[in-house]
Amino acid sequence: MAIASNFTSIYSHEWDINFTQCAPNGYLKYVDLCNLLQLTAAEHSIIGGLSFNDMQVHHQAWVLSRIRVEINALPKWQDKVTVKTWIESLEGSRSIRNIEMYLNGEKIVGATTFWAVFNTQLRKAEPLTLPHEHFEKYPEHKATIANFSRLNIIQETEKVTERTVVLSDLDIVNHVNNVKYLEWCLDTLHPKSILKQEVKNFEMNFLRELNLNDQVDINISKEEGQNFFSVTKEGKVCFALVLEY
């Protein structure tokens, strides 16, 4: 485990918003927003000696369990944004990490993320093997106004589409990457709600991993001011999403 000489417990990374990350309106896609947040978290783990390669020595990896994102504004093509991240807590197999995005010095996005240490051979959670005491924890330093909510996954929904997991859905841990679930759900909505940037907050809960060739249903329930989505396999909820407008 190599800790970089420039390691700090609060980490910032500057990103250029390129055209491949933008929707037809020229603004950053919600999926690519999540990618940038998580890439920044990954960079912090790398310089802090907790990267994927470091953890794979013990057949471990970080997997996202929950995320809440609060959006004040989205950056657009050619903007330069700064993403800042820090660890709120890390104990056993669980960690809460906060992430913020800034544009011209103004905070435009806040996110709180809940991660689990996953054994990539046994396919289950287990305590982190690597030491992490060099990471200062910030339990009082929050990035979002609200904390995680208890998503009600047992509710009536309507099936809107189905799909089969393909190779491009998978990530380095060999299961469906978390942003793919968001992409699947957003693609079922009317483009207007996306292009007009009507989404203000969203929260995702990852419950069961999906693998190549799995067949799933995507379901929706609509209420005033929010949409609830679930991705189910053989009737069991694997993923839940709430979009707030």
pLDDT, one tens digit per residue, over 102-161 is 999 999 999 999 999 999 999 999 999 999 999 999 999 999 999 998 888 988 999 999
**The predicted structure's pLDDT at residue 139:** 97
| Start-end of H helices in the chain | 30-47, 52-56, 178-186, 191-195
Q: How far apart are CA 100 and CA 70, in angstroms?
A: 10
Angle at Cα 90 formed by Cα 66 and Cα 152, nearest 5°?
25
Same fold, 7-148 and 150-245: yes
**The predicted structure's pLDDT at residue 193:** 85
Query: Which one, of 210, 203, 202, 205, lies nearest residue 162 by Cα?
Result: 210
> Residue length, the chain?
245
Cβ pair 203, 168 in contact under 8 A: no
**The predicted structure's pLDDT at residue 94:** 96
User: Is the pLDDT at 200 greater than 90, yes or no?
Assistant: yes
Mean pLDDT of the chain: 96
What fold is seen in the domain 7-148?
A: Thiol Ester Dehydrase; Chain A (3.10.129)
What fold is seen in the domain 150-245?
A: Thiol Ester Dehydrase; Chain A (3.10.129)
Could you tell me the residue ranges of all domains in the chain? Answer: 7-148, 150-245
pLDDT tens digit sequence for 42-99: 999 999 999 999 999 999 999 999 999 999 999 999 999 999 999 999 999 999 999 9
pTM of the model as a whole: 0.95
User: Is the pLDDT at 2 greater than 90, yes or no?
Assistant: no
Q: How far apart are CA 243 and CA 204, in angstroms?
A: 9
Query: Which one, of 49, 70, 52, lies nearest residue 62 by Cα?
Result: 52
Which residues pair with residue 135 across a beta bridge?
none
